[in-house]
Amino acid sequence: MLLSLRKTVEKHGLLAAKALGQNFLLDRNITDKIVRLSLSRQSIGSFAGCHVCEIGPGPGGLTRAVLEAAPDSLTVIEMDARCIAIMEELKAETDIPFRIINGDALTFDLSEEIRAPRQLISNLPYNVSVPLLTGWLHQAESYRAMTLMFQKEVAERITAPTRCKDYGRLSVLAQLTCDVVKLLELPPECFTPAPKIRSTVLLFTPKPAIPSAEILSKVEKLTALAFGQRRKMLRQSLKSWPQALETCAAIGISPTARAEELPPAAYLQLAEKI
């Protein structure tokens, strides 16, 4: 019989490791709510028919909620060897195919590791949340959905509209590849240890038509130049790429515009025409 999350943490002497960006979510009411809201927003009643991958399961709060939602299989990727023992205990208590990988999610191509259709879920380690997300967005068509928790300020960058101080490269990439909705915001006291910031759970649903890898690479180059000098006009920030400025003129983008004034669709159009 499984112990409660808190007793499991005590049994394994599991203190969150700052170096691994760990803040454990031990309230089953909250982990269950995250899964319930994700499923509801996707208009499905369970994970049946999907192969789920959880990144950084820690003591297994979200893991238990995922297993109760009956996926066809579950793969967890965890760097902390202490948490692997907890995952082994969960695996022993379920009939659902359950694969445990002790490693760094940054080194895995999940589109190769996980069978389709795939769903991702994670209380992401905050210190690697952006590079992980960026890699997944480049393969957004590989996933049915991604339910991911970020520190609030990162979530605000992801969902920011144009002409907003939080709008930037991550906003453009996320919004070109996925429909992103906020599911839940959590205060620091929900976590052990309590971080100094609030957290936000977002649901990413890939768009029906996603730009090609070549086009997304151009978008990233354009946004790196434009937002790298966001206070300057495009005629200045893009001057190292003359073809980009010429294309702006051809498609009606003003050279006196600034990076935050262009919506994601404008960056896409520009990348497609260069």
Instruction: Supply the pLDDT for residue 46.
Output: 98
Q: Model-level pTM?
A: 0.92
Helix segments in 125-187, DSSP class H? 129-137, 152-159, 169-177
Task: Return the DSSP state at 97.
Answer: -
CATH topology assigned to domain 5-206: Rossmann fold (3.40.50)
Task: Return the DSSP state at 36.
Answer: H
- What's the length of the chain? 274
The superfamily in CATH containing domain 213-273 is rRNA adenine dimethylase, C-terminal domain (1.10.8.100)
Q: How many Å apart are CA 213 and CA 196, to the nearest integer?
A: 37
Q: How many Å apart are CA 269 and CA 121, to the nearest integer?
A: 31
> CB count, 10 Å around CB of 62?
26
For residue 193, what are its two tokens?
């240890």
Q: Is the CA virtual torsion 61, 62, 68, 70 positive or negative?
A: negative
Q: Could you give the residue range(s) of every CATH 1.10.8.100 domain in the chain? A: 213-273
Instruction: Supply the pLDDT for residue 137.
Output: 97
* Beta strand 118-123 pairing with 98-102: unpaired
Q: How many Å apart are CA 209 and CA 218, to the nearest integer?
A: 17
Q: How many Å apart are CA 187 and CA 175, to the nearest integer?
A: 26
Helix H or strand E encompassing 271? helix 264-273
How does pLDDT run along the chain (274 residues), one tens digit per residue? 666 777 777 676 665 455 445 577 878 999 999 999 999 999 999 999 999 999 999 889 999 999 999 999 999 999 988 889 999 999 999 999 999 999 999 999 998 989 999 999 999 988 899 999 999 999 999 999 999 999 999 999 999 999 999 999 999 999 999 999 999 999 988 887 777 889 999 999 999 999 999 999 999 999 999 999 999 999 999 999 989 999 999 999 999 999 999 999 999 999 999 9
238 within 8 A of 245, measured Cβ to Cβ: yes
Q: Could you give the residue range(s) of every CATH 3.40.50.150 domain in the chain? A: 5-206
Tokens 């003003």 found at = 254
Q: How many Å apart are CA 83 and CA 161, to the nearest integer?
A: 38
